[in-house]
Amino acid sequence: NTKTMTYLHFFLFIAEHLCPKSRPKRDLLNEFDKHTTNMVRPTTDGDVKILFDMFLEKYPRTYSSSSDEYNERFEIFKTNYQVVQHLNEIERGTAVYGITKFMDMSEEEYHRTLAPGFTRPLVPIQTLNSAELDTTNIPDSMDWRKHGAVTEVKNQGSCGSCWAFSTTGNVEGQWFLKHKKLISLSEQELVDCDTLDSGCGGGLPSNAYKSIEKLGGLEPEKDYPYVGEGEKCAIKQSDFKVFVNNSVALPKDEVKLAAWLAQNGPISIGINANLMQFYWGGISHPWKIFCNPKSLDHGVLIVGYGTGGWFILLLKNGTPFWIIKNSWGPDWGEEVYY
């Protein structure tokens, strides 16, 4: 009684925004306005220190201003600020990078915490059948959020469970299309009970679909809430509300991918999360060196696509983009999307 589930290893980037402009140094406070497209360019360590202290006001930390960790984090913040400026200079799309809640995290810490890849070798335990695709009459745009098929953005915290959020997002959309009922599903069930994957240490949606079949179904989020760490499996089959009976693989061809999404709902994918640490908004089109498709380390959900937006006047013929649902909470990205 369910629709076919989908999974694809791929990497894509999305959203809509304007390119950065310079502004006076006195506007430092606006650095934290996530709807501004301007970027401050401090000229002294003192300016950066002001930004760092404002960052700590917005995103409180446990370390005090007199601690060694404060000084260490400030050095990381300074380094990351230089990275942000560089990314804005070399960006080939319309993306804007700036200060985010991850600004005091080193590159190693960021990947270990939010996009860890896999702590042990993981391979699909089943070969997925290829999907049958109809590429005729593909609409110019599609956004499944507008059709009620997408739950609110969730937050994986410091657990490397992005694969579980990608999986549940896909199943939520498929279940909605089949039964016209949107149910927020339990990622914690997969973190705790999916023995084919590694919980907070990473996983594959293709394995997760098989695990859901073996477990018998998925509980709603409200019955098996997310805690952000692995615990003893505590499923109650009587609470199962959603079931999976199959999954398929999609090609990397973007036209075929768009065709499937338009006809069948949100798609679970894997991407390279290198530039997401500092992403604010816009269509991200980085140089290939920053997004190696052989280094996929983050599971997300494609919920739509388009070929422009309100910025269409600035870009001749518009720029195609994918709309990606992430799992880093309500205070990240362009209106929480990528």
Element (H, E) at 323: strand 321-325
> Helices 45-58 and 68-90: crossing angle, nearest 10°?
100
The token duo for 259 is 């065709």
Q: How far apart are CA 337 and CA 301, in angstroms?
A: 10
> Helices 162-179 and 205-215: crossing angle, nearest 10°?
60
The token duo for 9 is 């290893």
Q: Please, is 129 exposed, middle or buried when counting C-beta atoms within 10 Å of its C-beta (0-12, 13-18, 19+)?
A: exposed
Q: How far apart are CA 257 and CA 268, in angstroms?
A: 11
Q: How far apart are CA 108 and CA 6, in angstroms?
A: 31
The token duo for 300 is 């997300």
Annotated catalytic residue, options 80, 207, 274, 326: 326
Annotated catalytic residue, options 17, 80, 162, 291: 162
Annotated catalytic residue, options 9, 17, 111, 298: 298
Q: Can 129 be counted among the known catalytic residues?
A: no
Q: How far apart are CA 139 and CA 129, in angstroms?
A: 25
Q: Do β-strands 267-271 and 298-306 pair in parallel, antiparallel, or remain unpaired?
A: antiparallel
Q: How far apart are CA 86 and CA 148, in angstroms?
A: 38
The token duo for 283 is 């269509």
3-state helix, strand, coil in the chain (%, to 5): 35, 15, 50
Q: Can 326 be counted among the known catalytic residues?
A: yes
- Give the gyration radius of the chain's Cα atoms: 20
Q: Can 38 be counted among the known catalytic residues?
A: no
Contact assessment for residue 19 and residue 276, using Cβ atoms and an 8 Å cutoff:
no
Q: Which positions are catalytic?
A: 162, 298, 326
